[in-house]
Amino acid sequence: MSGTIRFTLDGREVEAEPGQTIWEVAHGKGLVIPHLCHRPEPGYRPDGNCRACMVEVEGERNLVASCIREPKEGMVVTSDSGRATHARKMVVEMLMADQPEPEVAHDRSAHFWKMAELQGVTESRFPTMEAERIPLLDDSHVAMRVNLDACIQCNLCVRACREVQVNDVIGMADRGHDAFPIFDLDDPMGASTCVACGECVQACPTGALMPASVVDEQQVGDREDFDEEVDSVCPFCGVGCQVSIKVKDDKVKYVQGINGPANEGRLCVKGRFGFDYIHHGHRLTKPLIRREDAPDKGLNVDPENPWTHFREATWEEALDVAARGLADLRSYYGGKTIAGFGSAKCTNEEAYLFQKFIRQGFKHNNVDHCTRLCHASSVAALMENVGSGAVTASFNEIENADIAIIIGANPTENHPVAATFFKQFAKRGGKLVIMDPRGQGGLKRHAWQNLQFRPGTDVALLNAIMNVIVEEKLYDRQYIEGFTEGFFEFRDHIRAFPPERMAELCGIEAETIREVAREFARSRAGMIFWGMGVSQHIHGTDNSRCLISLALLCGHVGRPGTGLHPLRGQNNVQGASDAGLIPQVMPDYQPVTDSEVRDLFRHIWRGTEIDAEPGLTVVEIMDRVYRGEIRGMYVLGENPAMSDPDVEHARRALAKLSHLVVQDIFLTETAMYADVILPASALPEKTGTVTNTNRQVQMVRRAVPTPGEAREDWRIIVDLARRIGLDWDYDHPRHVFDEMKMSMFSLHHITWSRLERESSVTYPCKGPDIPGEDVVFGDGFPRRAGRAKFTPARVTPPAEVPDEAYPMILTTGRQLEHWHTGSMTRRASVLDAVEPEANCSLHPSTLRKLGVDAGGRVRLTTRRGSLDVMARADRNVAPDMVFLPFAYVEAAANILTNPALDPFGKIPEFKYSAVRVEAADGDAVAAE
Ligand SMILES: Nc1nc2c(c(=O)[nH]1)N[C@H]1C(S)=C(S)[C@@H](COP(=O)(O)OP(=O)(O)OC[C@H]3O[C@@H](n4cnc5c(=O)[nH]c(N)nc54)[C@H](O)[C@@H]3O)O[C@H]1N2
Ligand SMILES: Nc1nc2c(c(=O)[nH]1)N[C@H]1C(S)=C(S)[C@@H](COP(=O)(O)OP(=O)(O)OC[C@H]3O[C@@H](n4cnc5c(=O)[nH]c(N)nc54)[C@H](O)[C@@H]3O)O[C@H]1N2
Ligand SMILES: [Mo]
């Protein structure tokens, strides 16, 4: 089955690649064969059920559906014969009989109407279906409307749900004319297990499924009723989905996924329906200055009415006060009394400017950002052993893998679009191994192995797996010899971790460990994905070292379908890190301790001396603030008053600052402590670049204006820089990008104009016209002699283990609908409606012991603090654990968390604290 196929299409000799359909060939030649149930976007399997694309094949009696038929050598196909045209028209006419009239269509610009128009069909002579046979409006979901009177049974929503997003919620019920899509067991959409990815809405060709924001009360709407559509990037997670933002009257009307390299048209609930936070009434629209007579600093400001604490100011005044405060501290106490937190929600250019602002303006490196709380330990281990902190392969490479480990990551909630590719991989027969103490509702059923091991015992489990691979000599000797160092010491070390002994620690049977080890080692191509369950421990770096060693042992790096992939979190955490928002390194991870690096930047930054001493990290900075050693801070797009561990401590620290400048889009908990608040722009209001988890540098295009007097972040940073005496003269993000290229080898061959043209370019990239590399290190590593390294890891217990006073384990994390500290998503109407209340999850048996019903309230207490929160019953949580998301200020998880740090990555142990759980009313039955 190779070689092109030649056939005749409408009298022309044409060629098809093997596997191409007649429809695809025609489409490629600019010929439009009508289509309804066929969606040419990637991921959609042609189904051939609607017969709207019929063509004639010479020698065949029946017309054929061109969307599924593959041409044969010498075939003669006619798309424009009278018979074919007539049949196609007839299909449309029959379907039209049951459509609402075009004037009252749910989507006046529906694909269906375009196809009808294309064929000149304006009315139908067929009888309409009796109204009582059609299901009524389903408006049970806040984000979507289901009007099945427009349904043509084309099955696209089913394929969207089952095959593209692999959520398996929609199915077809009944047969023939009475066949209609249903959710689960014919539940209302809003009560079903639908996760609101909206793929079905995007796929529906008639408007039967529509975004709620596009139809009116009468269910009439028009998807093309917008002023402008702008291609940009989703502002939420590190997957970096490309979106088309439809704008009407300067507001986002709705959002569609487009064919970006990471998302291939798909989106999740946040990317599709979570945009209206940018239009929320709480948006900061004017600079604010703390009033002289404001009460003490605390979490006591109402974002609705901040006038008790703040007053409006002009930009001139606010920038002057903000800059003067920092400059005064610098001259009285020295530059080191200032620190900065930059943002992984802002663009690369903004991150670059921010670190430059601190380094050049205050002559030190005390600048960090949320990567410290996130993958700092993974990056530490990757830098140490691989020589690069980024992923070695895109997550989409799973397409070429046979086996994939997902450890300490919950992608169906946190990287939902990546998860769709993982689920498709499993459906194709790929072996998915999940390692997570919490059972994963979304991915579990797709897993070949689901290892629900004891939290904090990753090293024990992984070392046991590697022990099997070493003892049974399943490792890839050739690879180890050619590309690694330290194997022999590692081999000796790993002998001390036999599965039988490790089973006692991690709770997974030795036989299962063996099975996984053998399968992973013997597979042709394996990938490892990991997340916060690995990194957010005091032994997070050791956890990652094990993952790296495991991949190296098996030679699962540098080939298609292999690789190490820490799933990056924030939309631009990869880019912000690359741009130098890290205290130890300059842009592109060039160490501040290296004099050549400092020389390079002295040159680019016109004489600026870079401090040779690595700066302080997030939690260290907060400690110095608490001790009064750091007196001023500039916080851009971060909310440490919610996201830092032991947050009461962080809040007390923030209250002590004599000068705090916060630049955000909302009056966050952190901004409540500010002296000056600068109103910034949200991502859909900016121009710039961001870099996703796949190392894809992508173009962010401004879709809507900033509200009120709010300004783009880069502009504010530049204005402040000038006021503290720096001679900056950037007047567009592209000038910043050009400067970044002077020191960042990673951006070679990636220019602003190329990004404008291509929207996305992966780094590293070998030429101006060559695509970047999805898989790297096939021919060696950016380390000494091109070799990656085995670094042995020992088993370390968590910093705080359960005892009599705190007998259970608290783990914290995320939920699909909410973003971190909630500042954005609790102000997004759909997301807030779906998940409105602070909650935690406990095993039903634990709840029973506590005497608390599901939905009742529990009190969680750790050595740091206590809070009350609603409890859900969830069998996926182990009986001795409680899972608490950190998005809710009224039950802020970080009041409870332990600030103990990993010694290498300096990341806190968000994933493990000892906790006491009681019924909130006080009559608790103590949990064992
Ligand atoms: N909806 C949503 N998506 C997000 C975010 C968000 O706030 N909301 N944030 C983004 C960011 S910045 C990040 S970093 C990513 C994080 O994405 P993930 O890494 O998926 O995040 P978490 O939910 O914090 O934790 C992942 C898993 O670690 C498991 N875990 C807990 N303890 C252990 C352990 O000891 N060992 C192992 N192996 N696993 C353990 C938990 O059970 C959980 O399932 O998500 C990004 N995406
Ligand atoms: N307990 C617990 N704590 C955790 C974690 C955990 O798993 N458990 N995870 C940690 C991790 S992985 C992370 S990444 C951190 C995240 O911690 P943070 O980064 O502090 O959390 P976010 O809520 O994402 O804060 C982003 C801020 O930027 C603002 N913002 C959004 N867009 C823009 C913009 O374009 N410009 C400006 N100027 N501001 C903008 C938002 O309003 C918000 O205030 O939390 C960490 N904390
Ligand atoms: Mo993160």
Instruction: Tell me the pLDDT band of 922, cut-offs 50, 70 and 90.
Output: low
534 and 659 both lie in a single domain: no
Does residue 882 have its Cβ closer than 6 Å to ligand 1? no
717: CA distance to ligand 1 center in Å?
31
Residues with Cβ within 8 Å of 848's Cβ and at least 6 positions away in sequence, in order, are none
- pLDDT for position 185: 95
Does residue 675 have its Cβ closer than 6 Å to ligand 1? no
Residue whose C-alpha is closest to residue 241's, from 253, 229, 257: 257
- Region 62-81: mean pLDDT is 96
Residue whose C-alpha is closest to residue 544's, from 376, 337, 760, 393: 376
CATH of the domain at 355: 3.40.50.740
- Backbone φ and ψ of 407, nearest 5°: -125, 130
Average pLDDT, the chain: 96
Distances from the Cα of 341 to the Cα of 245, 366, 662, 663, angstroms = 30, 9, 10, 10
Residues with Cβ within 8 Å of 735's Cβ and at least 6 positions away in sequence, in order, are none
- pLDDT for position 581: 97
Whole-angstrom Cα distance, residue 745 to residue 623?
Answer: 35
**Tokens at residue 790, please?**
């085995």
Residue nearest ligand 1's atom 36 by CA = 533
Does residue 814 have its Cβ closer than 6 Å to ligand 1? yes
- Domain assignment of residue 315, given as a range: 288-292+305-374+572-762
- pTM of the predicted structure, to 2 decimals: 0.97
Q: Which of 566, 595, 630 is the last residue of a domain?
A: 566
What dihedral do alpha carbons 82, 83, 85, 90 form, nearest 10°?
A: 130
Q: Give the ligand 2 atom nearest the CA of 822.
A: 23
Domain annotation covers residue 190: no
541 and 422 both lie in a single domain: yes
The CA-to-CA distance between both ends of the chain, in Å, stands at 63
Q: Where are the beta strands (DSSP E) in 692-770?
A: 696-700, 760-762
- pLDDT for position 536: 98
Q: Give the ligand 2 atom nearest the CA of 668.
A: 44
Is the CB of residue 882 less than 8 Å from the CB of residue 810?
A: yes
Identify the nearest ligand to the CA of 570 by its number: 1
- pLDDT for position 13: 95
603 and 703 both lie in a single domain: yes
Mutate to test the pocket of ligand 2, among 233, 343, 814 (most ligand atoms within 8 A of CB): 343
- pLDDT for position 131: 80
- Region 564-568: mean pLDDT is 98
Identify the nearest ligand to the CA of 811 by its number: 1
pLDDT for 176 beyond 90: no
Is the CB of residue 42 less than 8 Å from the CB of residue 265?
A: yes
Instruction: Tell me the pLDDT band of 924, cut-offs 50, 70 and 90.
Output: very low
- pLDDT for position 476: 98
Q: Which of 93, 125, 144 is the last residue of a domain?
A: 93
Residue nearest ligand 1's atom 42 by CA = 438
pLDDT for 2 beyond 70: no
Domain annotation covers residue 526: yes
Does residue 235 have its Cβ closer than 6 Å to ligand 1? no
Residues with Cβ within 8 Å of 307's Cβ and at least 6 positions away in sequence, in order, are none
Does residue 345 have its Cβ closer than 6 Å to ligand 2? yes
**Residue type for position 18:** P
Mutate to test the pocket of ligand 1, among 414, 505, 541, 547 (most ligand atoms within 8 A of CB): 414
398 and 544 both lie in a single domain: yes
Whole-angstrom Cα distance, residue 78 to residue 459?
Answer: 64
Domain annotation covers residue 117: no
673: CA distance to ligand 3 center in Å?
23
Q: Where are the beta strands (DSSP E) in 415-497?
A: 431-435, 449-451, 484-485
462 and 503 both lie in a single domain: yes
494: CA distance to ligand 3 center in Å?
31
Residue whose C-alpha is closest to residue 405's, from 538, 533, 283: 533
- pLDDT for position 97: 93
- pLDDT for position 828: 98
Percentage of residues in the chain with pLDDT exceeding 90? 96
pLDDT for 127 beyond 60: yes
**Residue type for position 91:** V
Indicate left, alpha or beta for 789 from its phi (over 0: left) and psi (-120 to 50: alpha): beta
682: CA distance to ligand 3 center in Å?
18
Return the minimum-mean-pLDDT range out of 115-129, 304-318, 818-832: 115-129
Instruction: Tell me the pLDDT band of 927, cut-offs 50, 70 and 90.
Output: very low
- pLDDT for position 926: 44
Rounded to the nearest 10 degrees, the angle between the axes of helix 540-553 and helix 376-385 is 40
Q: Give the ligand 1 atom nearest the CA of 817.
A: 1
714 and 586 both lie in a single domain: yes
pLDDT for 174 beyond 90: no
485 and 576 both lie in a single domain: no
Does residue 486 have its Cβ closer than 6 Å to ligand 2? no
Domain annotation covers residue 536: yes
Domain annotation covers residue 177: no
- pLDDT for position 1: 47
Instruction: Tell me the pLDDT band of 509, cut-offs 50, 70 and 90.
Output: very high
Residue nearest ligand 2's atom 25 by CA = 638
Does residue 407 have its Cβ closer than 6 Å to ligand 1? yes
742 and 752 both lie in a single domain: yes
CATH of the domain at 432: 3.40.228.10
Is the CB of residue 619 less than 8 Å from the CB of residue 372?
A: yes
Residue nearest ligand 1's atom 17 by CA = 414
Q: Give the ligand 1 atom nearest the CA of 454.
A: 35
pLDDT for 128 beyond 90: no
pLDDT for 459 beyond 90: yes
Does residue 373 have its Cβ closer than 6 Å to ligand 2? yes
- pLDDT for position 928: 37
Residue nearest ligand 2's atom 3 by CA = 643
The number of distinct structural domains making up the chain is 4
Residue nearest ligand 1's atom 18 by CA = 409
597 and 722 both lie in a single domain: yes
Q: How do beta strands 5-9 and 12-16 pair? A: antiparallel
Residues with Cβ within 8 Å of 744's Cβ and at least 6 positions away in sequence, in order, are 578, 579, 587, 588
pLDDT for 191 beyond 70: yes
- pLDDT for position 278: 98
Q: What is the pLDDT of residues 634-651, one digit of tens each?
A: 999 999 999 999 999 999
CATH of the domain at 893: 2.40.40.20
Residues with Cβ within 8 Å of 453's Cβ and at least 6 positions away in sequence, in order, are 435, 437, 461, 506, 507, 508
Does residue 894 have its Cβ closer than 6 Å to ligand 2? yes
Q: Give the ligand 1 atom nearest the CA of 435.
A: 38
Angle ∠(615,375,379) on CA atoms, nearest 5: 70
Whole-angstrom Cα distance, residue 87 to residue 66?
Answer: 13
- pLDDT for position 135: 87
Q: In this structure, how many other beta carbons lie within 10 angstroms of the beta carbon of residue 756?
A: 12
- pLDDT for position 562: 98
Q: What is the pLDDT of residues 216-254, one digit of tens each?
A: 999 999 999 999 999 999 999 999 999 999 999 999 999
Give the position of tokens 């759980």.
917
What are the residues facing 407 on neighbouring strands? 435, 530
Domain annotation covers residue 498: yes
905: CA distance to ligand 2 center in Å?
19
Does residue 816 have its Cβ closer than 6 Å to ligand 1? yes
- Backbone φ and ψ of 543, nearest 5°: -55, -45
550: CA distance to ligand 1 center in Å?
21
9 and 34 both lie in a single domain: yes
Domain annotation covers residue 46: yes
548 and 651 both lie in a single domain: no
823 and 915 both lie in a single domain: yes
513: CA distance to ligand 1 center in Å?
23
Domain annotation covers residue 590: yes
pLDDT for 819 beyond 60: yes
Residue nearest ligand 1's atom 2 by CA = 414
Does residue 569 have its Cβ closer than 6 Å to ligand 1? yes
